Amino acid sequence: MTTNAAPKTPAAEQAIASILAALEEMLATAHAQAAEALGYANEGNRNAAIGTIIDLENLLADAAALRGSALALHRRAA
């Protein structure tokens, strides 16, 4: 039986680890922003709360792209 998958390589393993490290940083930033926004909301400062999370859309889109990259590398190097 033959497979089209490339063999596991140190380069793929390192790339996935690097992607996951970047993903963790992005999600930690997203968490911190959400927590800060909640603090503002609890203080009744709706404008500050929304302003704090306004960039989350871009940050989470970038995180989703990294996730997709990690999955693609995993599938290719499985």
pLDDT tens for each residue of 56-70:
999 999 999 999 999
Q: What whole-number distance in Å separates Cα of residue 69 and Cα of residue 15?
A: 9
> pTM of the entire structure?
0.82
* Cα dihedral 62/66/71/72 (nearest 10): 100
- pLDDT value of position 77: 82
d(CA 15, CA 9): 10
> Quick one: tokens of 4?
């089209």
d(C-alpha 12, C-alpha 21), whole Å: 14
| Confidence band for 5, pLDDT divided at 50, 70 and 90 | low
pLDDT tens, residue by residue, 6-36:
557 899 999 999 999 999 999 999 999 999 9
Statement: residue 54 has pLDDT above 60:
yes
